[in-house]
Amino acid sequence: MACLMLVNNKTWACADMGDEHLAEVFSIYSNDYTYSNYERLMKYWAAYTGDKTPFSAEWQERYAPWNYYFDKDCARLMLAAKRKKDEEMQLYLRNTIKYNKICDDMQSRWEYPSAEKLKVRRNTLLSIQRAAKAYGGERLKPQFSLLLMRTNMLLKDYQANQEYWVLNASKLPESVFKDMMHSLYANAILNLGQWRKACDIYVKQGDWESMEWAMRNYRNPAGIKRVYKEDPNSPTLAYLLQCYVNGGYGWEIGYGRYIEEQDEKQVNADDTKQLLQMIETDVLHNAAVRDKVMWKAAQAMLYFNNNKPEQAFKCAQEAQKLNGSKRAKHCARSIALLASTGFKPLGDAYSAYIVGELQWLMDCSDENSKKVSYSSAGEYYSEVMEYIMYNYLIPRYNTKTTTNERLALMAFMDHPHKPEYYKDNEETGLSLIWGEYGMALDSLTAKQMIAYYSYLNANISDPLLRLAVSRAYKNPDCFNDLIGTAFLREGNFAEAIPYLEKVGTKYLSAKGYNDYALNNDFKADRWFTPRPRPVKTVMNNGGKDNVKVQYCRDMLQLLSTYKLARNKEVQAEVAYVLGSRYFQASVYGDCWFLTRDYVSAYDSVRTYEKDFVAEAERYLLQSEKSKNPELKLKSMFALAHMSYAQFSVGSLCTSGEWFEGLDDCKPIYNRYTNLAQYLKGLKTPPDYITKCDILHEFITKRMR
């Protein structure tokens, strides 16, 4: 348990959800308190220590920036206390560290502690408790009070915590420490039988772990109905409704309730029907209910989840006219947008409606994100927008119109909140290749790319598509590079050159592979050339000096020479060079950057591009037939290297274990066997043969 933090320790959700685009559109209950409370705690310690490091941009991007002050047994806090000669704070920190160690021990132990260890633990807690009770000062009264209630909790003295909160802690000035004690009070009264009152506190505190346990049997219509009958305005209802409507566990995303077995689906359908009836016949007519919007929005979401988008839209629209919280009204509006995608026909009128709703979502996201540095409030709006666009709206444009519309909408979603993103950071336009939009662009043929770029610069009448096109990145350098590279990877070198020659130096210098590209030569044979380490270099290769232009010109000359050659031996020599060039520009070569902006160990040939590896093999098989023994040997060595490069991808091969896990790979064994057999007839093999440890290992250990 982190030092001086909330008892219910939280973690940030891992940022990258991949391409699933999940969100809870019905999201009334928020655990935002958790994040704002952490920030309040950090601000307290920042003021005390004078160290504001966690509030820097670098630290705010980290997984758990609040741990900064509490690392290594609160070393930074203790150092500040000693520097100030603050004896009271040192006493508090020493006892808190003892408490934290007990919590860590309780959480991490797999084996039940012995009686002796339990005795030691209890004695330590009693010692901390005595120190907290003995504190007679006023300055750190909230901190020592928190320490006292924490020890009471672990000693299971719930009555003591209830009484201490009512008689003492509740009367202290407002502070983050008082809020922590309120959560401990909720824990006490929960254990003393005051279930609903405790749950209401947990909801307000954003304590999802405690709520999940306390309400584990109430996340269903029967449980919702029971709480509603006791108090129609119980804060707990927001959590329970959100849990049930979303089919998961509150703020955790999960839709298991909608993918159950058939017999369970019927039970769930009956449950949903009961809840819908309760909302319609009771809740909405109950004058005592203050947040009718929340209930009507829940009704709308349930209709949508049950494939009734028109009814859901109607409910969501009606919900916005009822009394309720701002959050609930925003949820209702979001649900209306979601539901509209299920039945509204595409056209200018609907498109204009979408533009208005998207702008509203972006404005809300920006407004809420500015309020609390560690808040997740703004994320709701951006997540809803992403969820609706990617899962419901973009697919409709993909099936109803052409590829260009879908791509434009994806371009808009690349950075919807910041249209100036690319303008302010010209080189960051390259980052689009890593996203979903970039992957879509990567799947286009050169001609499709030309058509799409033309579309981005056209006059669009549809309001939504006009917005998308206005926000899309349209840098000519970027698209000339994309188009030229697409032609290159298709093997259309002559058509690639005019586009690649237009790409400016500044743009090329910003490429992520810049340093790597400058230290690799496509004219070098990959099988003879150790991969160099990238060295920082200033790039100056725009226009005709673009390495891709050089490659295209070189390939055109080689292909012409090959075609015009009348002598088979001359043609074989050119074939070897062509094989080398094609392989270097493939995903397995050093110069992969000629055909793509990034590469991975599991990359593969796109459906529309020329298979450079297959081309390399075709030419090397021809040069292998040469009567020139030197050329023949080089070709055989190259073919062996190519087979190994392709089929060893993903294998953790290293010296002495070059063939580990590759025993059943016939292409590799066949190539190396042919090479080894040929070498038997050579008296003095060249250096590249004698120094090849992969070949040596094959001959000595693997050759059959």
Q: Per-residue pLDDT tens for 508-541?
A: 888 878 777 888 899 999 999 876 554 554 444 4
Q: How many CA atoms lie within 13 A of 9 on its CB side?
A: 12
| d(C-alpha 476, C-alpha 634), whole Å | 42
% of the chain surpassing 90 pLDDT:
59
| d(C-alpha 329, C-alpha 192), whole Å | 36
| d(C-alpha 438, C-alpha 587), whole Å | 18
C-beta separation of 699 from 689 below 8 A: no
Residue 25 neighbours by CB distance under 10 Å: 24
**For residues 155-184, average pLDDT:** 95
Find the helix or strand (DSSP H, E) in which 288 lies. Answer: none
Total residues found in the chain within this entry: 704
pLDDT tens digits for 666-677? 888 899 999 999
Burial of 244 (0-12, 13-18, 19+ CB in 10 A): buried
Q: Specify the pLDDT at position 45.
A: 94
Question: How would residue 217 be classed by pLDDT, with cut points 50, 70 and 90?
Answer: confident
Q: Write the Ramachandran bin of 27: left for phi over 0, alpha for psi from -120 to 50, otherwise beta.
A: beta
pLDDT at 188 over 90: yes
* Identity of the residue numbered 240: L
How far CA 672 is from CA of 114, 660, 666, 684, in Å, comes to 62, 15, 10, 18
| d(C-alpha 317, C-alpha 333), whole Å | 7
**For residues 350-360, average pLDDT:** 97
- Residues in contact with 636: Cβ distance below 8 Å, sequence separation at least 6, in sequence order: 624, 671, 674, 675, 678
How far CA 529 is from CA of 16, 112, 602, in Å, comes to 37, 59, 22
Write out the two tokens for 479.
């698209």
Question: How would residue 650 be classed by pLDDT, with cut points 50, 70 and 90?
Answer: low
Out of 2-11, 110-119, 612-621, which region has the weakest mean confidence (pLDDT)?
2-11
Out of 22-36, 368-382, 431-445, 455-469, the most confident range is 455-469
| d(C-alpha 443, C-alpha 428), whole Å | 21
Closest CA to 38 of 21, 60, 16, 23: 60
| d(C-alpha 359, C-alpha 337), whole Å | 12
Out of 163-167, 273-277, 587-591, the most confident range is 163-167
Mean pLDDT of the chain: 85
Q: Specify the pLDDT at position 66.
A: 65
- Residues in contact with 477: Cβ distance below 8 Å, sequence separation at least 6, in sequence order: 502, 503, 504, 506, 507
C-beta separation of 42 from 75 below 8 A: no
User: Higher model confidence: residue 66 or residue 506?
Assistant: 506
**For residues 201-211, average pLDDT:** 80
Out of 22-31, 139-148, 648-657, the most confident range is 139-148
The C-alpha R_g of the chain, in whole angstroms, comes to 33
Q: Specify the pLDDT at position 249.
A: 40
Closest CA to 147 of 187, 98, 209, 207: 98
Determine the 3-state secondary structure of 249 from DSSP. strand
| d(C-alpha 185, C-alpha 451), whole Å | 65
Q: Specify the pLDDT at position 136.
A: 94
Helical pair 32-49 and 71-83, crossing angle rounded to 10 deg: 40
pLDDT at 256 over 80: no
Burial of 442 (0-12, 13-18, 19+ CB in 10 A): middle
- End-to-end CA, the chain: 59
C-beta separation of 197 from 22 below 8 A: no
Q: Specify the pLDDT at position 3.
A: 36
Give ∠ CA 409-410-411 in degrees, rounded to 5.
90
